Copies of this chain bind each other. A is one copy, B any other.
Amino acid sequence: MKQISMTAGKIAELVKGTVCGDPERTITGISGIKDAAADQLSFVGNKKYEDQLGTSAAGIVLVCKDLANASTENRTLIVCDNVDVAFAKLSAMYADEPPVYPVGIHPSAVVDPSAKIGKNVSIGANAVVEAGAEIGDGAIIGALCYIGHDAKIGAATLLYPNVTIMFRCTVGAKCIIHPGVVIGADGFGFVPGPQGLIKVPQTGIVTIGDDVEIGANTTIDRARFGKTVIKSNVKIDDQVMVAHNVVVGESSILVAQTGIAGSAELGRGVILGGKAGINGHITIGDGCQVAGTSSVARSLPPGQIVIGTPAESQREFLARVALPKKVQKLDAKIKELEAKLAELAK
């Protein structure tokens, strides 16, 4: 991490925050709240972590408005509207530079002469680019990547090493795709036949919008016909599985190990928690939120927040979780009634 000396006053200016305590307090680096030293800045973005603030040695701490009145003994606070955004800004300033992927085609890469390579493109060592593929200006194709026949990679998109983009699939501009991702493997379709299962040809493609990020080892399958669609600004975590003919609406967020079955359609701004499952052929409305490890079997209208398997409202889920205690109470009441009744019968 870089060492840069800054005062609380200067930092508050940068992140548009308000200083509580000594504005001349100076730090040279940043760190997590537990590990931070007196010459480092850290952050507490939620009142529930207030106790970590008390025990931290950090010299400057970015805090949310709920913590504006916390003690400034031994430290300076900077109160921010959005601590995450503020810290991200500083984190980027103090971060070591990421590696530079040099422009040009590495001599060990195998690029078909018919591929169209844009300006200022970097193609890494031992990468393979097949016939008819198109790589947009400023794109980076990492080492050991595979770009299939007639696939298209948009301008300024970054493919980290070891990404596989299969034939005819398209990736938009300014996307980031992490290692191990597979775009455009066959969808999973078979029909019973007289001599066993018969493969249903998967003749479509995957099409991915702009500003999409896709985490390590995620797989997005090509359509049975037509397109599997990931719209712009969608953010996908690691080990997510998107089946054939799925549509994921703009700015949706799919957390790690989520699975979406074939032909499901997600609206805009949908959030799926880690390990969530979405049934095939259903519709998840705009802005729906599915809690981690939950499974949604039926379509959801916009704005629903659901949890559990099968997914239900949070109120219903909590009632279900509390069921054993409720049943125990009923049991006790019944015993009481039995006793009273026996008494009365006498």
Known contacts A188-B237, A196-B251; is A324 also within 8 Å of B330 by CB? no
With A and B bound together, what is the CA distance between A3 and B314 in angstroms?
50
A203 touches B323 (CB 8 A): no
B238 touches A261 (CB 8 A): no
A327 touches B324 (CB 8 A): no
Interface residues on A, range: 35 or more
Which of A10-18, A55-63, A70-78, A212-220 contacts the other chain? A212-220
Residue A152 interfacial (CB < 8 Å): no
Interface centre among A148, A201, A213, A245 (most CB of B within 10 A): A201
24 A-B interface contacts by CB (under 8 A): A1-B225, A30-B225, A95-B201, A95-B225, A98-B167, A99-B167, A128-B143, A148-B161, A161-B164, A166-B179, A178-B186, A188-B215, A188-B235, A190-B235, A196-B211, A238-B243, A239-B239, A241-B257, A259-B274, A293-B309, A326-B327, A333-B338, A337-B338, A340-B345
Residues of B within 8 A of A235 (CB): 188, 190, 197
A residues sitting closer than 8 Å to B (CB atoms) are 1, 30-32, 35, 82, 84-85, 88, 91-92, 94-96, 98-99, 106, 108, 110, 124-126, 128, 130-131, 142-144, 146, 148-150, 160-162, 164, 166-168, 176, 178-180, 182, 185-186, 188-191, 193, 196-201, 203, 211, 213, 215-217, 219, 221, 224-226, 233, 235, 237-239, 241, 243, 245, 250-251, 253, 255-257, 259, 261, 274-275, 277, 279, 292-293, 295, 309-310, 316, 319-321, 323-324, 326-327, 330-331, 333-334, 337-338, 340-341, 344-345
